[in-house]
Structure 1
Amino acid sequence: MQIISFLQFHFYITIVAIAVIGLIVGSFLNVVIVRYPTLLAARWRRECQEYLNLPVEPKPKFNLATPRSQCPRCKKTLKIRHNLPLISYLTLRGRCAYCHEKISPLYPIVELLCAILSVAIVIRYQISWQALAGLLLTWVLIVLFFIDLKTQLLPDAITLPTLWFGLSLSLFYMFVSPYQAIFGAILGYGLLWITAAFYQLIRKKEGMGRGDFKMVSMLGAWFGPGIVLNVLLLSVFLGLITSFMLLALKKISVKQPIPFGPFIAVAGWISLLSGPVLIHKLISYL
């Protein structure tokens, strides 16, 4: 409690500290975004090979903790001074320190985004347990946003534990009551399941992955049923606007699917920041 009181008194120092922590966490989120889909695909291949009695490929020589980051091109391990969040990218002018190959802008984008969103959460909730929970959800949403954007996957190993964590928080009435959390989780999954089933009945093909169901269910567990429909409406609106823009710019074709998870993540984070108020206002303007 003394630590919380100190942080509340020195709030501006806390904001700077949260920004730095956000950059550091963002650096780790980059590792998860890049490595976890590869680890997941390798595990699926091994499971299929075992089932078919085929030679099983060896496990990858990396995980989320080791080895240290390396250049994708020259494979040289980066030193600590080459891997400082955001700073190294700027000082190296976006290039590898060894082979001078361009580094993906994804890394500084994730780090900076993580820092900005983390600061926004702390400003919104001040120094509280809600702020800590909000930071954790923010970081999860960033990971889901970029993994789905790159691979069209929303891993159960991320969405389901976060769903259960949201249900657990409801025992302490962190954001909603246990009843609201349970009903929100059921409603979030059920609405998308019914929508997808109806779409498949009409179009004779799947239009949405079950990972999207679980992600909305996850948000329902955190914020209750009152926010689920608003999240869906806002994410659908964002998805339609983005699709029309990409079609107009000829970046995608009419039949090319786009991931829905990033739009759910954006709508979910807006819900975290403002509750139903901002979403209601946004929807009222549509």
Structure 2
Amino acid sequence: MIDDALGALLTPLGLALLGLCIGSFLNVVVHRLPLMMERAWKLESAEMLGVAAPDVAPLTLSKPASRCPHCGHRIRWYENIPLLSWIALRGRCSACKAPISARYPLVELATGLLFAALAWRFPAQAPTFVWCGFVAALVALALIDWDTTLLPDSITLPLLWGGLIAAALGWTGIALSTAVWGAVAGYLALWSVYWLFKLTTGKEGMGAGDFKLLAALGAWLGWQMLLPIVLAASLLGAVVGIAMKFGGSLREGRYVPFGPFLAGAGLVVLYAGPERVRGWMGWA
């Protein structure tokens, strides 16, 4: 009975439905986690300075319940069904009719499709659920970094350790030594670029979160995939940055965060597979 249920969940349809639900949760993570970090920084700063702590309302991923930011209407359970509720509500709050961003259903849909694709990439394998966690973390990190230029340690570090543990248990198909060296090389590669750029220009070209994200990608995908990931992320980032610059959406003094492109390149390597990536690079 358990095997049948597990087998049904590991089908493209089963993983797509799981992905829709996880995508709904990721919307909460992307919105609330940066706010939670900001509040924690304010409280820590007040404690260090010896001043009165700011009056901030408690905020976690589960509390308070989701509400409309315009009128405060509490979102009922049937208004929070992934994808379907947004369609049924025609993209508007049921109380005040204010528009609900299309990004919410798009994140749910994208996560569902990415999970479904894992069923073809890793057919009928229980470790597929581990890769679901990897994908979900990358989606959350990409969106948070795009919004805030932050890559939270609360996601990057568990992702890094998760990759090493998964390799040790034989769930990712790469040797533990390959995962360890992937993490080491991933961190040191961008750390070196950071310091070379800073010593040359006196400016910071990226944040430490990028080092940790590439280290996590190396732990999950192996050190051999680091160069393709960095090349693809750099190329895509440059194209998007130039397009935004000429389109006027990139303000003077601002920069395009690198994390979303690292995450995207990591997903491409995951779904393409190492053999195909080596072929693209012209490696034997």
Which residue of structure 2 aligns with residue 44 of structure 1?
Answer: 41
Cα pair 2:198 2:204 within 8 Å, conserved = yes
TM-score (norm 2): 0.93
Which residue of structure 1 aligns with residue 155 of structure 2?
Answer: 158
Cα pair 2:12 2:117 within 8 Å, conserved = no
Cα pair 1:4 1:127 within 8 Å, conserved = no
Percent identity, aligned pairs only, is 35
Which residue of structure 2 aligns with residue 250 of structure 1?
Answer: 248
Which residue of structure 2 aligns with residue 196 of structure 1?
Answer: 194
The structure 2 residue matched to 1:216, chosen from 214, 217, 224, is 214
Which residue of structure 1 aligns with residue 63 of structure 2?
Answer: 66
Does residue 144 (structure 1) correspond to residue 141 (structure 2)? The answer is yes
Which residue of structure 2 aligns with residue 84 of structure 1?
Answer: 81
Cα pair 2:233 2:261 within 8 Å, conserved = yes
TM-score (norm 1): 0.93
Cα distance in 1 between the residues matched to 2:188 and 2:20: 36
**Shift of residue 203, structure 1, vs aligned partner:** 1.1
Residue identity in the other structure for 1:251: S
Matched pairs, number: 281
- For the aligned residue pairs, the C-alpha RMSD in angstroms reads 1.8
Residue identity in the other structure for 1:41: E
Residue identity in the other structure for 2:177: Y
The structure 2 residue matched to 1:32, chosen from 16, 29, 34, is 29
Cα pair 1:238 1:263 within 8 Å, conserved = yes
Give deviations 1:110-165, integer Å, cap 9, x for gaps: 10011000000122101213311111100000100100010010000110011011
Residue identity in the other structure for 2:183: A
Cα distance in 2 between the residues matched to 1:40 and 1:210: 16
Cα pair 1:134 1:272 within 8 Å, conserved = no
Give deviations 1:75-117, integer Å, cap 9, x for gaps: 1101112111111111111110001001111211110011000
Residue identity in the other structure for 2:213: M
Does residue 19 (structure 1) correspond to residue 19 (structure 2)? The answer is no
Greater Cα shift, 237-246 or 253-262:
253-262
Residue identity in the other structure for 1:183: W
Unaligned stretches of 5+ residues in structure 1: none
Residue identity in the other structure for 2:112: A
Residue identity in the other structure for 2:193: T
Does residue 182 (structure 1) correspond to residue 173 (structure 2)? The answer is no
Cα pair 1:39 1:60 within 8 Å, conserved = no
Cα distance in 1 between the residues matched to 2:6 and 2:128: 13
Which residue of structure 2 aligns with residue 134 of structure 1?
Answer: 131
Cα pair 1:270 1:279 within 8 Å, conserved = no
The verdict on how the C-alpha distance between 1:152 and 1:283 changes in structure 2, with shifts beyond 3 A counting, is: farther
Residue identity in the other structure for 2:176: P
Cα pair 2:11 2:116 within 8 Å, conserved = no
Cα distance in 2 between the residues matched to 1:88 and 1:5: 30
Describe the SS at the equivalent of 1:57: coil
**Shift of residue 256, structure 1, vs aligned partner:** 2.1
